[in-house]
A = this chain, B = another copy of it.
């Protein structure tokens, strides 16, 4: 399959590396010039679950690449999705498929402005990747072959056939991938998790373990999730609020090995003073609530507080 990875951050590079290694025709598209040049000059270094590898893969600035591809896998930051699609709209022909593996809510709205819904596939992944050294191009790491789930957005035999083919292709590359029939549920579930852990740990400058020890935090998390569920239900997705609360709380447990980690939003904003994805999590719930006249006070306040922190830290 001929695949373009749109957004070659740590996640895009990790997927690109796996897919290329398995024999697919893969290119990386990114706006970071040093990164693109270094990949082309000396290959992409990848620490693949502990093994050091180098993949020789072509990288381009988005506007410099014009070949027809079967599939674009979107791996930008949520905030950059729209502007990146603008830069690659020449690649999004009538029959080019687009798989979006971004965190957060509301991306289909954006994607639909650039391609037919029939071409769109949504997915969720539990892989987490990072640049091995901050600011060093062409060198990424990921620590587990986490599972990916994908599904077509518009139901049709052809969409299902191609969706299964994408899933098979990713799976064959060594990243377990399943074609599912409830991807929206999975997207909302992950958004609930991030809308609680990312946002609250960022506001309070806390890791997940400590967050979980705060008095009445479960009541707050439950309240945030109730509002997510109210908006999800307007989109035909049913979330079990109690089950979801337990799921989110499980990330704060002593028994969860990653509980002492600071979530990615905390790293982005508090450490690196970068703008957050809150508008695709709590901010999405808050905005849809206003549009639909559904009260979402917890998410309203969380959204304003995270944006407040962005303003105070002069995040860019």
Contact = CB atoms under 8 A, between A and B. Distances in A.
A309 B308 CA distance: 17
Main secondary structure of the interface of A (DSSP, over half): helix
A266 B252 CA distance: 27
A302 interface: yes
A204 to B, nearest CB: 5
Contacts of A301: 220, 223, 297-298, 301-302
Nearest to A214: B308
Contacts of A203: 203-204, 305
A210 interface: yes
A223 B297 contact: yes
A214 B307 contact: yes
Contacts of A312: 204-206, 210, 214
Interface residues on A, range: 20 to 34
A214 B311 contact: yes
A311 B204 CA distance: 10
Contacts of A220: 300-301, 304
A213 interface: yes
A205 B301 CA distance: 16
Contact of A216 (B206, B215, B217, B304): B304
A9 B214 CA distance: 30
Nearest to A204: B308
A206 B314 CA distance: 13
Contact of A304 (B219, B300, B311): B219
A206 B308 contact: yes
Contact of A305 (B204, B219, B300, B311): B204
Nearest to A295: B297
Interface in A261-303: 297-298, 300-303
A249 to B, nearest CB: 14
B307 A215 contact: yes
7 contacts: A203-B204, A204-B305, A216-B303, A217-B304, A217-B308, A219-B300, A305-B305
